[in-house]
Amino acid sequence: MKWIFFDLDDTLWNFSANSAVALGKLYEISPILRKLFKDLAEFREIYHANNSLLWDLYARGKVSTRDLKVERWRRTLATRQFEVLTAVCEELDRTYLDILAEGEEKFPGMEEMLQRLSKKALIAILSNGFSKTQYKKLQFSGLWRYVARTIVSEEIGINKPNPKLFEYAIQETGATPPFIMVGDHADTDILGAMKAGWHAIWFNPSGKPFPFTPEDLEKQGVCPSLYLGSASTPDQIESLIPSI
């Protein structure tokens, strides 16, 4: 059987919705956060800015897993001139990730699509993320039922878009061409996969224009035909997958 590789966060599993809930619960139970930030909206805005920056650095191999987990909290609290111990940052991160992992919000129709695809192909997760948290997300959401193999960057120390992660995925699964990646991030998921010689489908519910023209791709040594298209719904993802 053929393999189809999916990103997890904001592709199969609705990270944005689940994270919003988790941050809200964290704010409610954390005296430090309630003291330093006037309301949940202010806290979320500042946290998201720092978290996004650090995830970008993480994807490029500029910071370690531990640094990401600690610094996103340290920098957020530092905006309020609050000096915080590393142990406090680690506790905030543990609590947040524990709440987050229990989120069950998926994109409408995504589970049904996986159910159909898993009858004719093997489904793999290829995720940048933290191993413990990603496995718990699959468990609590029920998505594990359709997944034959889960590959998380933290386990091997290589992040998307590094081509070595895509090579590792092929070796681990024994997948044969065509290799297909479905993900929401145009750079790490889509361009990363195409640079590794994979076909790619961009899950793009907001309908943004694809940021790379065929000329852009060719300049980077990427064959434009590897891009299979943009999909705003699970049905559209399914329609773009080559016959299997």
pLDDT digits (tens, 9 = 90+) for 44-84: 999 999 999 999 999 888 999 999 999 999 999 999 877 77
> From residue 73, how far is each of 48, 68, 93, 160 by CA, in Å?
10, 9, 7, 23
pLDDT digits (tens, 9 = 90+) for 21-31: 999 999 999 99
Q: What confidence score (pLDDT) does residue 111 get?
A: 96
On average, the pLDDT of the chain sits at 95
Give the residue-averaged pLDDT of 156-161. Answer: 93
Q: What values do phi and psi take at 242, rounded to 5?
A: -60, 155
Handedness of CA 140, 168, 164, 216 (dihedral sign): negative
The two structure tokens encoding residue 199:
């076909």
Share of the chain above pLDDT 90, in %: 94
